[in-house]
Structure 1
Amino acid sequence: MKLAVAGTVATGIEVPWGLAFLPDRSALVTERDSGKVKRIANNQVTEVGTVDGVDPSSEGGLLGIAVDPQYPGRPYVYVYYSTGDDNRIARMTYQGNRLSDQQVILDGIPVAAVHNGGRLRFGPDGYLYVGTGDGREEPNSQNDDSLGGKILRITTDGKAAPGNPGNKLWFSKGHRNVQGLAFGGSQLYAAEFGQDTWDELNAITSGANYGWPAAEGVSNLDGMVDPIAQWKTDDASPSGIAFAQGHIFMAGLRGARLWAIPVENGKRTGEPQAFFTGEFGRLRTVETAPDGSLWLTTSNTDGRGDVRAGDDRILRITISR
């Protein structure tokens, strides 16, 4: 496999975090600290609105974004954001290139300066999957009544999706800080920040326990599911992931590289391969674009990187064999 930078889609975005495409092939991007949502179309960046109530921190703020799978019939986008009290998900109307009518559909997700999760992804079943963090309270991940340290599966009204374990809002538990979600067919994959030793890529199944805080990386503990791949935290510190051409692509923050992991039906089928190591600094989000390329965002303005001229930027990456 070969990856190549085909061009720069946008520059000058402040701490880009979430990225979602619309049917017209334009994209919406969230800015973590400003609370603003930007639209990118034809390499032009415009502001389309601001999410109210965003309280940014070292890892909190305006995070994930997802477009309703029935858009524009249901003209909604969904955002995940931190307030002074919790993390929340809101549904907003997006029409005429403007956001309006912000309505909270789910609140009470644990919040802290770090470990806020934040990724949103609609599944092929039409339900919204949500990666959360433990909010720096490790017991949250194993507490069935906490929304922290989980992958949630909810309706577009913020209710528990049918078939969830115990009719709870969550789909899986035992996570430390999930910031990457992607589907390969019907299989959900999740990237997770480790503490000091191992970052993880997990294949997610309903009701499964992924071990935190008892497990970090492959631990072979009874009743807990091991990751399908793991990395030293210096080599990854993963945030966003995307699926394309039989691979999970995983953006690394501290690792400052894009990983490609071959997978099939929830199994890893080969060794992970790293691309662009150190070339662009911290990498936050990767998404599969409508034309089959990857859009890859840097995260050098997030307070932990070395800012370069034009940061933060979105790169267009092409894939070839």
Structure 2
Amino acid sequence: MGRAGDGAVDAAGRPRGRAGRPTALRGLGGACAAVAVAVLLGCTSAPPAPTPSITPTPEPSVTPTPSLTPAPPPEVLQPSGEVSVVAEGLDAPWSILVLAGGGTLVSQRDRGDIVEVLPGGALRVVAAVPGVAAGGEGGLLGLALLPGDADRPPYVYAYFTAAADNRIMRMPLGGARGTLSLGAPEEILTGIPKAGNHNGGRLAFGPDRLLYATAGDAGVREAAQDPASLSGKILRMTPDGEPAPGNPFGNYTWSLGHRNPQGLAWDASGGMWAAEFGQDTWDELNRIDRGANYGWPVVEGAAGDPRFTDPVQQWATGDASPSGLAVIGDTLFLAALRGERVWAIAPATTAGALGSTPWFTGEFGRIRDVAAAPDGGLWFIGNNTDGRGSPRDGDDRLFAVGLAPAG
């Protein structure tokens, strides 16, 4: 049996972008549910071997602005000291959002709400996201923050599973720590195919201030190789939900050939990384390049096939099942669900062989997300109440641990 990882439409059956505009995907919503059932019953049939017939267009060249004072190179870090509990009593938490102005928000997948973690560890519901239809691995998933400026407030973006598709919405953020509030929601992208699993769901703003989203194949494996489909991709868009200028295929697709990516992060040099669930053999950490094809469903893991980009690190599925990803210093920290550990992978940017070290194996159960803590340490969140774990008293918890230079 294949391993679980984890469309609204217009009158013509096309998925809608913001304000009902058609997107590049056409009419996968109706077939996704049936295919998802087939995947759950057995997904070991021979994969198709299509490759995209569309060649990415060159990205416009940009001359970087020289830095007047070179920044010191980032350090390779590792956990140090005792692990402490920041908060407990969370219900299937999915995404940690640490706010620059103070405060922390956490999405709860099955409840469909966003809670604020208060000083002392109490939890306060900030908003119930309308339209969430939780089921299987779908529900309220990733969160991201777009900071405000003189012309507009900050916005919290949320990726969620609705009745017919996966969607991205944004809500204006108000209040201060302890009294945070979210205003009226606005959907900016609809029609991302959904299924009982393989929904992707991570959101993050990149160094270019554009929004990136991971979308799983939603059980339709061949769609991952179609540049015009929204599934099996990393998507790149403006904060208003339009395809970003410079995208390689002239639509939302930034990279393709993904099965179920759930981690996104950027290193100090601006390099983009993504973590991805494999099927039966290899989970992946990928360095993401514009227009690159990462091989699914034709290949899983490093295949040495010149048509595809190999992962830079891979693990047996029992050791990982990777979800959240964060870069702190020159180290990538990766949350592992089935592996019940946090992987530290380094160096991200400096010269040297990329190595990985497991931390906390089996101590806290399934780990869903990781984030840079306000004090410069590492936060990570358990996920034992998601239906696959073995909950303990107090689960799920948000944990904290200090970081120190690797010896």
| 1:35 alignment partner in structure 2 | 112
Asked whether the 8 Å contact 1:5–1:315 carries over to 2, the reply is no
Give the aligned residue type for 2:124: T
> Which structure would you say has the larger RCO, counting Cα contacts within 8 Å and 6 or more residues apart?
2
| The structure with more strand, counted as a fraction of residues | 1
Partner SS, residue 223 of structure 2? helix
Partner SS, residue 129 of structure 1? strand
| 1:7 alignment partner in structure 2 | 84
User: CA separation in 1, counterparts of 2:198 and 2:350?
Assistant: 25
Asked whether the 8 Å contact 2:342–2:359 carries over to 1, the reply is yes
User: CA separation in 2, counterparts of 1:85 and 1:291?
Assistant: 40
| 2:143 alignment partner in structure 1 | 65
Match of 1:153 among 221, 236, 240: 236
User: CA separation in 1, counterparts of 2:353 and 2:147?
Assistant: 30
Match of 2:170 among 74, 91, 107: 91
Give the aligned residue type for 1:45: L
| 1:256 alignment partner in structure 2 | 340
User: CA separation in 1, counterparts of 2:248 and 2:367?
Assistant: 34
Change in Cα spacing, 1:177 to 1:268, as seen in structure 2 (3 Å) is farther
Match of 1:104 among 187, 196, 207: 187
User: CA separation in 1, counterparts of 2:148 and 2:174?
Assistant: 14
User: CA separation in 1, counterparts of 2:392 and 2:103?
Assistant: 26
CA apart distance, 1:71:
6.4
**TM score, norm. by length of structure 1:** 0.97
Change in Cα spacing, 1:253 to 1:203, as seen in structure 2 (3 Å) is same
Partner SS, residue 309 of structure 1? coil
Match of 2:200 among 102, 117, 125: 117
Asked whether the 8 Å contact 1:199–1:217 carries over to 2, the reply is yes
Match of 2:154 among 47, 53, 75: 75
User: CA separation in 1, counterparts of 2:352 and 2:318?
Assistant: 21
Report sequence identity in percent. Answer: 47
1:137 aligns with 2:211: no
Alpha-carbon RMSD across the aligned residues, in angstroms, is: 1.5
Partner SS, residue 124 of structure 1? coil
Change in Cα spacing, 1:116 to 1:268, as seen in structure 2 (3 Å) is farther
Change in Cα spacing, 1:91 to 1:267, as seen in structure 2 (3 Å) is farther
Q: Any gaps of 5 or more consecutive residues in structure 1?
A: none
1:1-321 maps to which residues of 2 (within 5 A)? 1-42=78-119, 43-70=121-148, 73-96=152-175, 97-185=180-268, 186-265=270-349, 269-321=353-405
1:254-290 CA-partner distances (Å, limit 9, x unpaired) = 0000000003349873320000000000000001123
CA apart distance, 1:236:
0.2
User: CA separation in 2, counterparts of 1:268 and 1:241?
Assistant: 21
Asked whether the 8 Å contact 1:189–1:266 carries over to 2, the reply is no
1:109-166 CA-partner distances (Å, limit 9, x unpaired) = 1100000000001111100111110001001111111110100111111111111112
User: CA separation in 1, counterparts of 2:262 and 2:304?
Assistant: 24
Asked whether the 8 Å contact 2:367–2:382 carries over to 1, the reply is yes
Moved over 4 A (4+): none
User: CA separation in 2, counterparts of 1:256 and 1:179?
Assistant: 16
Give the aligned residue type for 2:302: V
User: CA separation in 2, counterparts of 1:120 and 1:252?
Assistant: 18
Worse overlay, 191-200 or 218-227: 218-227
User: CA separation in 2, counterparts of 1:61 and 1:71?
Assistant: 30
Give the aligned residue type for 1:318: G
Asked whether the 8 Å contact 2:264–2:325 carries over to 1, the reply is yes
Asked whether the 8 Å contact 1:229–1:268 carries over to 2, the reply is no
1:73-115 CA-partner distances (Å, limit 9, x unpaired) = 4321100000121000001122131222111100111100000
**TM score, norm. by length of structure 2:** 0.77
